[in-house]
Amino acid sequence: MRGDDVLILAGSLGQYSVSRIAGEILEKNLAASGLSTRLLSIADLNLPLFNPDVHYKDRAVAQDFLNAVRRARAMIWCAPSYHRTISGSFKNAIDFMELLLDDKPSYLTGKVVGAVATSKGIVAASNTAGELAMAAQALRAFTFPLLVPITASHHALDEAGNLKDKRIEGKLDLLTDEVRLYLASHPVMKAGVAAE
């Protein structure tokens, strides 16, 4: 089973997603550093709404996603902010990580998570980056100290959907360096496995 150094979870259900493009930039940067990196977009996951009555019994719809989470040493969450908090589709993906409860170790124990949040406004991006970090900690992960709020996201892309604000790339470069240095200085931990 293939493992990844870094799993990036990014995007929204929108066609032009600044958070997804941020994830693509991070994927390229980390791969250039020699790290095995995988990007999963929220739109491509196509997860239904998490229903504990259904999904604790039948996990098939999320099994590939959960296995990717298990195999990663680190994760980066790149989420848009809706109404000053994590977008519903992104939070739903985090909610599915509840199904890692019975793994040994539980949830995201031993992993480290980076947080990137995009929004038009400063307060919304900052709030959402902090809430991503809190959600990761609730799942027993460590978090990188650098949170990356990306503001004025409505002006970040050109008409073709490409990033035009080079300051954003600078913020993502800093997070890339944190991830690279962390993984270089920490030994590989055994990935979580489902409890029998």
Domain that holds residue 54: 4-185
Res 69: pLDDT: 97
Res 38: pLDDT: 96
Res 52: pLDDT: 95
In a domain, 157, yes or no: yes
3-state SS of the chain? CCCEEEEEEECCCCCCCHHHHHHHHHHHHHHHCCCCEEEEEHHHHCCCCCCHHHHCCCCHHHHHHHHHHHHEEEEEEEEEEECCEECHHHHHHHHHHHHHCCCECCCCCCCEEEEEEECCCHHHHHHHHHHHHHHHHHCCCEEEEEEEEECCHHHCECCCCCECCHHHHHHHHHHHHHHHHHHHHCCCCCCCECCC
pLDDT in tens for each of the 196 residues of the chain? 346 899 999 998 887 788 998 999 999 999 999 999 999 999 999 999 999 999 999 999 999 999 999 999 999 999 999 999 999 999 999 999 999 999 999 999 999 999 999 998 899 999 999 999 999 999 999 999 999 998 876 676 676 666 777 778 888 999 999 999 999 998 665 444 444 3
In a domain, 32, yes or no: yes
In a domain, 192, yes or no: no
In a domain, 195, yes or no: no
In a domain, 25, yes or no: yes
Res 193: pLDDT: 46
Q: What is the CATH number of the domain that holds 179?
A: 3.40.50.360
